[in-house]
Structure 1
Amino acid sequence: MTRNRADADGVPQAIMATYYAQRASAGLIIAEAATPNAVGQTYPNITAIHNEAHVAGWRHVTDAVRAAGGRMFLQLQHGGRVGHPDTSGLTPVAPSAVPLPDTIFTPSGHQQAAVPREMTVDEIHSTVEDFAAAARNAVDAGFAGVEVHAANGYLLHQFLAKGTNHRTDAYGGSVEGRIRFVVEVVRAVTDAIGAERVGVRIAPGLTVNGIEEGDTESIYPALVDALADIGPAYLHVVFADPDNPVFQEIRKNWPGTLIANPVLGWGGPLPADGGRLAGERLLAAGADLISLGRAFLANPDLVERLRIGAPLNPVRDRGLMYVGGEDGYTDYPVLADARDAARLPEPVAS
């Protein structure tokens, strides 16, 4: 849930400590994406985790969340072709020189996406090491672990998909070739900080950021089997549909903890229940845990609201998500504030 509240160099700011501490009642906070190297930056003012300033900035955040009784994993995300020289100062890299088909937001507004440079094998290897170093930095910054982001059309997902991976070497072509980079990243990260501190995020069939997988039914069973051999703490399936055969196959074959994120629409209105019913369907289909995103943006006390059936704050103007500052970020009321404002009675326990 990228919120663009870091500084231009990717260092988390003080307001982020307030934001995450407000949401410390979550069972686990999976923090917004942080880039493992400079070329992986996607948009302006997103977070990073590849130098000491980033570590120090994130440490303020994790200290605040821990003091409020919470725990956090940090999501590690390399944008791949989802980036721009005006943002990072570098030409984006990708498995193949296939540009993002959309415009991309930069410091000077929306621009046509740049044609990425195809990664050399040496660059692939060094990027794997960057992910491992980022994981170590995250632990140094006070995170309980990391989530490797292999979804939503970013670099790892680009390697998985036929539409963006036209390579003919060991990192392309066959299913085994296209999953290789993801598997190597996850193995390097687990070797760096321990499998019990690592999760992996995937999004089977998702077409956001121009992704065309081509063979979703083949690529994910192979990827899940390979990841199971490494043994990370959890697999996080986003935009999960309990009726989808691919999700059902993943649940059957994944031996560990499965986190599922319900399909609530991309940018559409949030259900009045914040995704609770959709989450319960996924639990009934075998998920062990449910992740919720947008509902937490507007409801710092989402857990308590879901527990007692209280109404949810609506997410305000979408533009406020990415512009910086307190508006639409740290100024959403919790239940006590809302009751005071509306003179609502306290709920009665039954």
Structure 2
Amino acid sequence: MSDEEYSEYEDEEVEEEEVEEVEEAEAEVEEEAEEQEEESGENLNEAEKAMLAAKKRHENDEQAKLDDYEKIRRAEREKEEEELKKLKEKQEQRRLAREQEEREAAERKKLDEERRKREEEDRRARAEEEKKKKEEEKLKKAQMMGGGFPGQQQGGRNFVINKKEESAGVGDRFGNIVQAKQEMGMTKEQQEEAKTVFMQGIRKNIAEASTILPNDMKAKIKELHQRICKLEAQKYDSEKRHERQEYDLKELNERSRQVARANNAKNGQINSDDTGGRHPPKVQIASKYDRQIDRRNFKERRQVYENKVAFPCFPGVPPPPAIYEKIIKKMDYEIQQELDAAEEEEEDY
């Protein structure tokens, strides 16, 4: 043992001895106080003894209450520590589960990327092979038509420009746009059918309850619950993203209309009644002056154009004098004779 360790050991022994001495002194003081109280109690009268006994009872009650409070507080502290421990364990489990999910997602993403690269390489290889075959067939055809042989070397171009391959590349590039247009053009029945097929594919991946063992049922329920929670989160994110996209589309359409309106105004093609919306501008049938002073309705204005021989009628201008026609009315017996003649003609027919 080194000197430092020995000195520390001696210091600890000295401190322990001092603590024991202090405790013994306190115990002696308490014993002396109790003895003095007992001696003084013998010299006290009945009232003072009763007061002293009440004081002791009060002190004992307070001490009992304090002990009960300490017990309750200790139990609550233990309960809180236990709950905190459980929460920390759950947090750790969630962290581990999240890390596991992230690793699985990264692995799936890596596998998808590798599969996509392989498919891209295969597609390029097939395209190159088809292109090479077409070039060879075209070269053989040219040689046969020129009187040569397939193995004979001839001058001229040694390459073939295939425009179809370029168009195929463009189709591959914009395939997602075409697919999106097809999906947008689907009818309601087609959408329901696609949804049913998709739900059936998901249902096939879920095992029947009768085929699951009782021990694995809890784990399967937990797995399905986690999957539902994740799908709900994805659904919420997709809805918010859809709302944001709709807002962006409306804003972009409004901006495009404003830009077109500004360009038309710059070129002198602006129309005051064109609001820039999806509806066409209003057709003007009268000037602002006529709309303010003319009180005729649309029917009255239309009658002016329907009657070709009508005189124009303007507000504030008296109409021309009416043209009267002389009509001689018939007598009652003449009208009756005409009716009788018409009835006889009908009977003859």
More contact order relative to length (CA 8 Å, sep ≥ 6): 1
Give TM-score scaled by structure 1 length.
Answer: 0.15
Q: Whose helix fraction is larger, Structure 1's or Structure 2's?
A: 2
Greater strand content: 1
User: Between Structure 1 and Structure 2, whose CA radius of gyration is higher?
Assistant: 2
